[in-house]
Amino acid sequence: MKYNEQKFAKFIGGTGFFAIVACCVLIIGAATWFAVSRFNKAKPETEKTPKTESYTQNSSSYNDMGDIGGEISSATSEIADEVTNSVSNEPYSSETVSEEAKVLNFISPVEGKISKSYSETELQYSATYGDMRLHTGIDIACEKGASVKAMEEGRVVSVEENTSFGTVITVDHGNGIKTKYCGIENATVKAEDKLAKGEIIGAVGTVPCECADQSHIHIEMYEKGKTVSPKIK
């Protein structure tokens, strides 16, 4: 037993032991290298390629969809603009619609017959001034103090005193048409009042520039700023 121990100790201290250890290290290293090499060879070289291609394809599809989305958005925007333009060109206010569609049918402001007609070019005799002159309105014979009605619905523009025509009430009926009621007394309306057709606006008074004529009311009508013959039914 003692002999074996001495022999083992001699072997450990000799070169044979180190040679065996070196061989083991080489064998382990070689086995490790072989295993790593086998692993690398077994791993597909194109493993990353499909992912890259797939990403590229997906990116391409994404870009295509982006282009399509842009075209759809552009087309939708154009359609929306057309719809907006068509809507903006249409009357959108109920007041605007009624203004354009409204047909004005003027009634007589008082009960009576026309005593002097409208004249834009033909001179007519003035009893007050004793001469011939144009008559830019109509005179309707009636009793002084008779009620004066709005000939059509509208808005009162003004109630003013005039040296020639007395109290004058101007009413805007829309469509560029205004009427002037001259020779009014006891006016019951004021500027900006809304009038209904037939509403009482005052009473028949005196027209200073026509005071020599029989009692009447003087009516003038303007279309876009120009006097026209009053259209009374």
* 129 lies in the same domain as 217: yes
Asked if residue 136 is part of any domain, the answer here is yes
Residue 28: per-residue pLDDT: 73
**Alpha-carbon span 115 to 230, nearest angstrom:** 14
6: CB partners within 8 A, 6+ apart: none
Asked if residue 103 is part of any domain, the answer here is no
**Could you tell me which residue, 111 or 94, shows the higher pLDDT?**
111
Asked if residue 69 is part of any domain, the answer here is no
Asked if residue 173 is part of any domain, the answer here is yes
Q: Please say if the pLDDT value at position 32 is more than 80.
A: no
Q: Please say if the pLDDT value at position 116 is more than 50.
A: yes
Domains identified in the chain, total number: 2
**Domain, as residue range, for 146:** 114-228
**Could you tell me which residue, 193 or 10, shows the higher pLDDT?**
193
Mean pLDDT over each residue of the chain, to the nearest integer: 77
Here the CATH number for the domain that contains residue 171 is 2.70.70.10
Find tokens 């009357």 and name the residue.
Answer: 91
**Could you tell me which residue, 150 or 51, shows the higher pLDDT?**
150
Asked if residue 81 is part of any domain, the answer here is no
Residue 204: per-residue pLDDT: 98
pTM of the model: 0.58
- Sign (positive or negative) of CA dihedral 187, 190, 192, 195: negative
**Could you tell me which residue, 35 or 80, shows the higher pLDDT?**
35
Helices then strands, each counted (H, E), the chain: 4, 12
* 119 lies in the same domain as 36: no
At 103, is the pLDDT very low, low, confident or very high (cuts 50, 70, 90)?
A: confident
| Tens-digit pLDDT profile for residues 158-208 | 999 999 999 999 999 999 999 999 999 999 999 999 999 999 999 999 999
| Tens-digit pLDDT profile for residues 48-98 | 444 444 444 444 444 454 555 555 455 555 645 554 454 344 443 334 334
Residue 155: per-residue pLDDT: 98
* 132 lies in the same domain as 216: yes
* For residues 124-153, average pLDDT: 96
* 127 lies in the same domain as 27: no
Residue 190: per-residue pLDDT: 97
* 133 lies in the same domain as 36: no
* Tokens at 142, concatenated: 């009636």
133: β partners: 124
* 121 lies in the same domain as 221: yes
Asked if residue 222 is part of any domain, the answer here is yes
Asked if residue 104 is part of any domain, the answer here is no
